[in-house]
Every structure is written in C-alpha cells, then in structure tokens.
C-alpha cells in the first residue's frame, strides 16, 4: 500500500519537474518519503476519491512489462503480426532505433517513436507468413492446362484477347471510372478473310491496325460499365467482319490512288519501259501488241518488274536499289 | 507559456523593424502606410528558448526536414499522378485530427498518424496514461463508431499509451 501511494506521488513530482527545469531525481524522492508517513494513516478503501479536488491521487496501475520480455525465441511470429498493423514497440522484440540523432547521441529508441509508426512495416509478411497464405489459397486455384504450354498455341486457340484494368487506391469508395476501359487485340491473319475482305477491313479500321505485328487493337470506353464495353467491342468486331465480306456497289469505283499496294501491270513504268524497248528495237522488227506481249515474257523485263514493285512497296534500301540497278543494266544491255 | 512568450517577442521584433512611410498632410487626406516585410519563416518551428521546454522529435524538426529527417503523418494514394480525391482526403485528415484532439483532450502525446489502406482508415495515436483504461476503451469505441458512420468506411484506432511524452530535446 505504501508503494502504491508513493507511486501516486511520484507522478505529482514529475509534473512539477517540467516547470522547474531539469531537476535531480533526489527531489522526487524526498517528496515521496515525506508524504508516505501522513498518507499511511488515511483509509485504503477508495484511493481515487480521497478528498475533494485531489485528482492527483489517481490509482495508477502498473503498466506491466511489455510482451517482448515474454516472447520465446521459437514463437509463431504470424500470430503476433497476422495482418498489416502499425508498429507496436511492445510487440516487436527488436532494439530498433529511428530518427536523426542529437549531437553526440544516438537515434531515439522505439518506445514512443512516432517515426516508426509513420512508415509502413512488413512485419506481417515474413516468409513463413507468405507460405501460410499460399497454402491457404491453394485449394482455390486450378492448374494451367498442360496443352497450352507455348505462346503460339495460346494464340491459336484463343486468338481474341480482351484486356481491362482494376484499380486499387485509398478512398471511401472503390469505384474508379477508368476501370471501364476495355481493349481487344486480335491477329488479322487468324480471321477468316479473303483478299478483298482483308483490304476492306484494313481500310475500315485505319489506325487501329499495326502492320508489324499484324494486330488489330480496338479500345472502347464509351459505355459506363465494363461489361457493356466488352459486349460493345465484340459487337464491333462482328460488324467489321461481316461488313468486310460484303461488296458494295460503290467499291467498283476504286481508283489507283486508293490501292494499298503498287502493282506493275498497267502502270506508267510498264508503259515507259515497253516503249523504250520497242524504240530500241530489241525484239527485232514489228510493231503492235504481239511485240509487247513478247517483251513482257522476257526474263529481264520480269526482273525489272520485280525490282520496281519491291522498291515501291517496301521502300528504298541498299539492296533494293542495287537490284533495280542490275535489272536496268541487263534490260538496256549496258 | 513558451508559445505566448514567442508571440510577444514577435510583436516587438516587428515593431522595431517597422518603418511606416506615411505622408502627413494637413488637409486630412488618406495615405498608404507600409511596413517593411519581416523576412522570417515561422511555420511549425519552436524557437530556441531557455532550455526548459521539452520538445518531441516531431516538433523539434521544422517543415523543411520532411522527407529528410521526418516522415509523413498522413499516407494515401491520392497525391500520386493520375489519382484523384486529394482534396477530400485532406479535409478528412484535418477533421480527424481535430476530432481526436478534442475527444482525447490532454491525453495526446504526439501528432496523429493517419493511414489509408484501400477502404480502411487507420488512425494511430500515442497517448499519455491520464485516463483509466475503461474510459480509454469507451472513447476509442465511440470515436471508431462515430467516424465510420461519418465517413462510411471502416475506421480503426491504434492507440499506444506512454507514461510521459518522449522528449527529444529541450529548447
């Protein structure tokens, strides 16, 4: 009982110490010893109600030693920190120190250290805890199908790829408007299209087609919900497919400027070269269509045709220019 | 006490620096009075005093030490690029700090740390052992319920109690 009341007055001593500056603990001790004699006579019934206004006599129970003292070395740490919680100095048996030290001193200790509470800690993610998580999740998982072990096979069986993003962020509501965006990717070669249909589809989609990877990418964010956007994008693909198979009446008006690729037949290049050859009288005497037909069948003319087509379709490069040069030299016997 | 001293000193400092450029004219026309600017930064700094004022780590360091010696008291994703809701989170933080300061009056040992993990709002506070534990439990439950009803999201309070404030240095 004496120790109990002396502790109550230890707190009193401490409060006064703040006002007076750095006091030696000696003064606290004298305070305590002086007053225990008088308080020993008072009743021990209701210590906190002792006298009006003497709210200093709070029944201070001992805080008790922190849990760290009683922790065995081989305890189950996942039981101490099962989920993500802020740092608790009484539960972590490590002598951590954090903070900028005073001159000639060390960083402040973990007890009452706000810096350790501010930072996120990963005490709940030890390897043992992660193993436990995985074990708990295993019954809900299914094996990856063994037949789909390469990317090529996946593309072959599942040519259409739909992509959407889920967002995690901090806030009272879980809704994010960007989560409704859906992207569809499909390889045009995996669709059943003939030449005309393929050209028409590429013209219809325009910029959404990537020539290098032969991928058609359609992105929708038109509808407010993700499911609606998914349905819409599948609808778009279906419509594109069916429309590209149809031939409209106005497609007959396709001009040379609309052509996607360069074709040598009936082009100025053909006319020019044939005219030059006829002028040079390479095939011998004779005018008219048969001469031109004969010329066309010649190997050098075919080579020339290949090199010009290549140049126009694939762009200029060293090898193409060289090929063109060789073809021209052979044709004109230079 | 320390706070009132510093404000009085500030007034005196300003008055000594003040040079009022007023034009006195007999006709009673109005004129503009200007004072020189007191180029002193006073934000969140406790001025050095006699050496009897115990100061926590949080108060001892000025705002320019944030991210160098101090962490952040409030953490959420709204301040990242492309994320929205920053203003709402800030207003929530301010309200929560005032609420905690009022509910646990006189018991707070240090600033409140607010963490957001998805939907969950976690309020971490260091308290002094001024109230009996039963009163603490009641206030914790009361705050959690009231705040979760107010913000429509689960609110958790993580309270740690100390015997007295963790003093970093004396200013």
For the ranges A127-136, A295-304, B118-127, the lowest mean pLDDT is seen at A295-304
Query: Using CA atoms, how far apart are residues A108 and A100, in angstroms rounded to an integer?
Result: 8
- In chain B, residues with a C-beta closer than 8 Å to the C-beta of A102 are 168-169
- Residue A285 binned pLDDT confidence (cut-offs 50, 70, 90): low
- At residue B9, the pLDDT reads 47
- In chain B, residues with a C-beta closer than 8 Å to the C-beta of A118 are 71-73, 75, 113
Q: Determine whether the interchain pair A114/B58 forms a contact, defined as Cβ–Cβ distance below 8 Å.
A: yes
- At residue A226, the pLDDT reads 95
Q: Is the ipTM of this complex over 0.85?
A: no
CB A106 within 8 A of CB A97: yes
* Stretch 201-220 of chain A: residues touching chain B, C-beta under 8 Å: none
Residue A173's nearest CA partner among B155, B148, B153, B154 is B153
Work out the mean pLDDT of chain A and round it to a whole number: 80
B116 pLDDT higher than 50: yes
Is A230 exposed, middle or buried (CB count within 10 Å of its CB: 0-12, 13-18, 19+)?
middle
- Residue A239 binned pLDDT confidence (cut-offs 50, 70, 90): very high
A39 pLDDT higher than 70: no
Residue predicted with more confidence, A6 or A281: A281
Q: List the single residue in B85, B122, B166 with the smallest CB-CB distance to A86.
A: B122
- Residue A41 binned pLDDT confidence (cut-offs 50, 70, 90): very low
At residue B116, the 3 state secondary structure works out as strand
Structure tokens that stand for B20 in this block: 């009022």
Q: List the single residue in A14, A59, A170 with the smallest CB-CB distance to B116.
A: A170
Highest mean pLDDT among A43-52, A128-137, A205-214, A270-279 belongs to: A128-137
Query: Using CA atoms, how far apart are residues A158 and A190, in angstroms rounded to an integer?
Result: 10
Q: List the single residue in B52, B111, B118 with the smallest CB-CB distance to A168.
A: B118
For the ranges A125-139, B26-40, B65-79, B126-140, the lowest mean pLDDT is seen at B26-40
Q: List the single residue in A99, A117, A171 with the smallest CB-CB distance to B113.
A: A117
- At residue A287, the pLDDT reads 64
Pairing of strands B169-170, B54-55: antiparallel
Structure tokens that stand for A319 in this block: 């090898």
> What ranges do the domains of chain A cover?
151-248, 262-332
Which residues have a Cβ under 8 Å from the Cβ of A239 and sit 6 or more positions away? Answer: none
A22 pLDDT higher than 60: no
- At residue A45, the pLDDT reads 41
For the ranges A17-31, A192-206, A248-262, A273-287, the lowest mean pLDDT is seen at A17-31
Residue predicted with more confidence, A329 or A239: A239
Query: Using CA atoms, how far apart are residues B77 and A223, in angstroms rounded to an integer?
Result: 26
Is A166 exposed, middle or buried (CB count within 10 Å of its CB: 0-12, 13-18, 19+)?
exposed
- At residue A263, the pLDDT reads 79
Q: What are phi and psi of A175, to 5 degrees?
A: -80, 135
Residue predicted with more confidence, A211 or A258: A211
Mean pLDDT computed over B25-53: 86
Using CA atoms in the order A45, A47, A51, A56, what is the torsion angle rounded to 10 degrees?
Answer: 180
- At residue A272, the pLDDT reads 83
- At residue A258, the pLDDT reads 80
Using CA atoms in the order A149, A154, A157, A160, what is the torsion angle rounded to 10 degrees?
Answer: 160
Q: How far is A21 from chain B (nearest CA, A)?
A: 5
Query: Mind listing the pLDDT tens digit for each residue in A88-119?
Result: 999 999 999 999 999 999 999 999 999 999 99
How far from chain centre, in Å, is Cα A272?
Answer: 57
Residue predicted with more confidence, A142 or A49: A142
- In chain A, residues with a C-beta closer than 8 Å to the C-beta of B88 are 171
A3 pLDDT higher than 70: no
CB B36 within 8 A of CB B14: no
B138 pLDDT higher than 50: yes
The answer, for B122 touching chain A at a CB cutoff of 8 Å, is yes
Query: Using CA atoms, how far apart are residues B127 and B160, in angstroms rounded to an integer?
Result: 6
Structure tokens that stand for A26 in this block: 């000696």
Mean pLDDT computed over A294-311: 81
- At residue A26, the pLDDT reads 43
CB A272 within 8 A of CB A264: no
Residue A330's nearest CA partner among A292, A287, A282 is A282
**pLDDT above 90 as % of chain B:** 65
Secondary-structure class of domain A151-248 per CATH: alpha beta
Give the domain B54-170 fold. Answer: GMP Synthetase; Chain A, domain 3 (3.30.300)
Query: Mind listing the pLDDT tens digit for each residue in B55-88?
Result: 999 999 999 999 999 999 998 899 999 888 899 9
Is A61 exposed, middle or buried (CB count within 10 Å of its CB: 0-12, 13-18, 19+)?
exposed
Mean pLDDT computed over A176-192: 92
Is A172 exposed, middle or buried (CB count within 10 Å of its CB: 0-12, 13-18, 19+)?
middle
- At residue B153, the pLDDT reads 92
Mean pLDDT computed over B128-146: 94
> Residue A310 is inside which H or E element, if any?
helix A299-314
Residue predicted with more confidence, A9 or A174: A174
Highest mean pLDDT among A248-252, B31-35, B113-117 belongs to: B113-117
For the four alpha carbons of B135, B137, B140 and B141, in that order, the dihedral sign comes to negative
Residue of B124, B135, B157 for testing the chain A interface, max A β-carbons within 10 Å: B124
| Beta bridge partners of residue B121, listed in sequence order | B116, B155
Q: List the single residue in A61, A86, A172 with the smallest CB-CB distance to B119.
A: A172
Which residues have a Cβ under 8 Å from the Cβ of B88 and sit 6 or more positions away? Answer: A171, B78
In the numeric block, the tokens 């060289």 are attached to A322
Q: What are phi and psi of B139, to 5 degrees?
A: -65, -35
Q: Determine whether the interchain pair B52/A22 forms a contact, defined as Cβ–Cβ distance below 8 Å.
A: yes
Which residue of A lies nearest to B155 if distances are taken between CA atoms?
A172
């Amino acid at each position: 009982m004496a120790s109990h009341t002396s502790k109550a007055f230890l707190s009193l001593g401490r409060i006064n110490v703040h006002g007076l500056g750095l006091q030696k603990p000696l003064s606290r001790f004298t305070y305590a010893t002086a007053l225990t004699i008088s308080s020993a006579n008072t009743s021990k019934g209701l210590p906190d109600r002792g006298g009006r206004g003497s709210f200093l006599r709070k029944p201070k129970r001992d805080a008790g030693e922190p849990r760290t003292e009683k922790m065995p070395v081989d305890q189950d740490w996942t039981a101490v920190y099962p989920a993500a919680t802020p740092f608790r100095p009484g539960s972590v048996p490590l002598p951590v120190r954090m903070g900028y030290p005073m001159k000639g001193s060390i960083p402040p200790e973990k007890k009452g250290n706000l810096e350790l509470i501010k930072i996120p800690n990963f005490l709940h993610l030890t390897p043992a805890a992660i193993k436990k998580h995985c074990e708990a999740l295993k019954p809900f998982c299914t094996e990856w199908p063994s037949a789909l072990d390469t990317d090529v096979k996946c593309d072959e069986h599942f040519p259409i790829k739909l992509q959407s993003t889920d967002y995690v962020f901090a806030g009272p509501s879980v809704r994010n408007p960007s989560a409704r965006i859906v992207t569809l990717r499909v390889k045009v070669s995996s669709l059943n299209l003939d030449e005309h249909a393929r050209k028409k589809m590429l013209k219809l989609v325009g910029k959404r087609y990537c020539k290098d990877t032969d991928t058609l990418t359609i992105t929708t964010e038109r509808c407010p919900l993700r499911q609606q956007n998914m349905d819409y994008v599948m609808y778009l693909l279906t419509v594109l497919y069916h429309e590209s198979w149809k031939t409209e009446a106005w497609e007959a008006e396709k001009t040379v400027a609309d052509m996607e690729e360069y074709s040598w037949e009936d082009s100025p290049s053909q006319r020019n070269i044939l005219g030059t050859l006829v002028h040079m009288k390479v095939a011998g005497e004779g005018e008219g269509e048969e001469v031109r037909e004969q010329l066309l069948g010649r190997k050098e003319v075919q080579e020339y045709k290949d090199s010009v087509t290549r140049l126009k379709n694939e762009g200029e490069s060293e090898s193409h220019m060289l090929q063109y040069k060789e073809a021209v030299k052979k044709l004109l016997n230079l | 006490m320390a706070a009132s001293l510093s404000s009085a000193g500030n007034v005196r400092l300003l008055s000594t620096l003040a040079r009022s450029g007023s034009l006195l004219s007999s006709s009673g026309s109005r004129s503009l009075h200007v004072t020189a600017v007191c180029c002193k930064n006073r934000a969140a700094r406790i001025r050095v005093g006699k050496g009897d004022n115990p100061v926590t780590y949080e108060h001892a360091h000025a705002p320019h030490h944030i991210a160098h010696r101090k962490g952040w008291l409030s953490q959420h994703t709204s301040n990242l690029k492309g994320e929205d809701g920053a203003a709402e989170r800030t207003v929530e933080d301010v309200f929560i700090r005032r609420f905690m300061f009022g509910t646990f009056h006189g018991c707070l040992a240090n600033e409140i740390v607010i963490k957001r993990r998805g939907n969950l709002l976690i309020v971490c506070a260091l308290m002094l052992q001024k109230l009996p534990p039963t009163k603490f439990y009641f206030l914790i439950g009361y705050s959690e319920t009231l705040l979760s009803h107010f913000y429509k999201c689960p609110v958790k309070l993580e309270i740690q109690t100390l015997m007295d404030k963790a003093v970093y240095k004396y200013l």
